[in-house]
Structure 1
Amino acid sequence: MFTNLLSTIRSWFDPGTEISYSRITAYKTCPCKYKLIYLEGRHLPPNPFISLGLSIHRTLEDFHSRKGNSFDALIESYDKSWVNEGFLSPQQTQDFFEKGQRMLENYWESNRDSRSEILYIEKEFSCRLTRNRLRGIIDRVDRTVDGIYEVIDYKTHAELWNQSKVDSDLQLSLYAIACKKVFGFTPGKLSYYFLAHNKKVSTTRSKEQLDNAAKTAEEVALNIQNKNFTPNLNHCPKCDFRRICTYSPRSPKKSLQS
């Protein structure tokens, strides 16, 4: 009891570090990448894959917020939500637009008769862990006809994750923690909806998994507080920031010119 009271009092005076799944992922990939993005404000220019993902997320948010009930309404949401940035040519724009349209067509056919109640769409959350604050946005929370709370996160990338990867994924664990702390329920189902495949892969979480996820978040926050930004040089060859990062090894050609 005294420990809990002490923790509460400490939280009044020490807001801790704000952490999120994206921040944790960036830091665990490479601490220097975290520093570039979240401390120095470096951002990559838009690209077709990011723009398609944003377009689909905004489309589904708009459609379900308006309680759309037809495919025409879904496509209307898509037209006005389209993010036309980062494309190299009109043909590439058209190709990606049609790719997104096919995703939505399949989504509509599979979900048009769904009886689940949508409780939250693009719902922001902020909650205290032990010493730090977890923030994020959940794409969607449903209550199924069986009364089960289901967290749904949309994925637009081409890769279809297997069950094992979904079962151990950190993002869904953090969302489950947030649901319990912020909304007062424990989700009985955590799902990734892979729109490129029109397939939903669902899982659950044990208390041990949730405890481990919270521990991971706290450990990353502590490293950030301690300004531990030692670069992970193994990630350099595939890092999007390799051209601007001072730690990225120079190419042989560049070394000869220097």
Structure 2
Amino acid sequence: MKLSYTALKTFQQCNFRYHLRYNRGLPSRPRPAAQSSRALHGALHLFHQGLKQQQTEAPALFPSSANALETLLAHLKGYYDNPLRPLTDEQYQEGRALLMRYWEAHRGQFPTPYLLEEKFTLHVGPFALTGRIDRVDDTPDGFEIIDYKLAQRSIIPPDPLQLDVYQLGFHARTGEAAKKLSFYYLRTGQTETVEADEPAAAQSRVRALCRDINREQEFHPQEGAWCTSCDFREFCPAQNRTPRPIPAKGRATQLGFDF
């Protein structure tokens, strides 16, 4: 069974929500910000990919405009013009403003990335934990994982679980360990950096959580701040005296076994 950081976090917050989304296969509501996020991530990936090619492969073959603001904005325009990846005019204009701020914050001086948009799969018992790392820089202090965030910066510290998953993903792909993880908030231009734990410690915590998921059979709801944005409140016995019946279609309840 495939899992992601989002699935693990969902289980930590509410077993019932996890069960409906990942065991029963109920769809979540589409969120308009998701399309903007994909376009911005894609534009930044193409931009940094061009910089990496210019700086590490054959500098004479790539124009000096690779690090130009116009190049970065052109990548976003490609998403706007693509009918398969539609952006509204408002999303496009906001995206341009965010990328201009990103470029200005670096003043055209960008590091050569070590990895870009790196996918990973971690096998933990019966689960395949999948994810994608936006960028990794090789800095004088060691490897730094960069994660772009479209959401506003939170007063809550970065989730340790996300740090663990990214560290394990990077280690699985390279055999190396990251020294730190930085969240870059595109709306504000702020960066929040935290020290990364060793892969062995991260693996122990993720394995324990996956073991809890595998053994869980009741999936009781757990109320919290996440309830207000939950897609499945109408089915929840903690939120409704007479909740709607859970649709019969979808995946069957998982089978538990030790690992």
| TM-score, normalisation: structure 1 | 0.74
2:102 to 100, 107, 116: 107
1:19–1:217 CA contact under 8 A, matched in 2 = no
2:121–2:130 CA contact under 8 A, matched in 1 = yes
Aligned partners of 1:202, 1:233: CA distance in 2, in Å?
A: 30
Aligned length: 224
Counterpart position of 1:73: 71
How far 1:121 sits from its partner (Å)? 1.4
Greater shift, 184-193 or 40-49, is seen at 40-49
Aligned partners of 1:105, 1:97: CA distance in 2, in Å?
A: 12
Q: Is 2:232 the partner of 1:245? A: no
Closer, same or farther: CA 197–57 of 1 in aligned 2, 3 Å: same
1:132–1:218 CA contact under 8 A, matched in 2 = no
Higher helix content, 1 or 2: 1
How far 1:49 sits from its partner (Å)? 1.9
1:149–1:187 CA contact under 8 A, matched in 2 = yes
Provide the aligned C-alpha RMSD in A: 2.9
Within 5 Å, which residues of 2 pair with 1:153-164? 153-158=147-152, 160-162=153-155
Aligned partners of 1:237, 1:119: CA distance in 2, in Å?
A: 39
Closer, same or farther: CA 234–185 of 1 in aligned 2, 3 Å: same
Q: Is 2:97 the partner of 1:95? A: no
Aligned partners of 1:81, 1:25: CA distance in 2, in Å?
A: 30
Q: Is 2:35 the partner of 1:51? A: yes
How far 1:96 sits from its partner (Å)? 3.2
2:184–2:190 CA contact under 8 A, matched in 1 = yes
Counterpart position of 1:88: none
Greater shift, 242-251 or 119-128, is seen at 242-251
- Give ranges in structure 1 of 5+ residues lacking alignment: 1-16, 86-92
- Please give the secondary structure, in 2, of the residue aligned with 1:241: coil
Counterpart position of 1:149: 143
Aligned partners of 2:45, 2:241: CA distance in 1, in Å?
A: 43
- Please give the secondary structure, in 2, of the residue aligned with 1:230: coil
Aligned partners of 2:223, 2:24: CA distance in 1, in Å?
A: 22
Counterpart position of 1:139: 134
How far 1:130 sits from its partner (Å)? 7.1
Q: Is 2:113 the partner of 1:118? A: yes
| TM-score, normalisation: structure 2 | 0.73
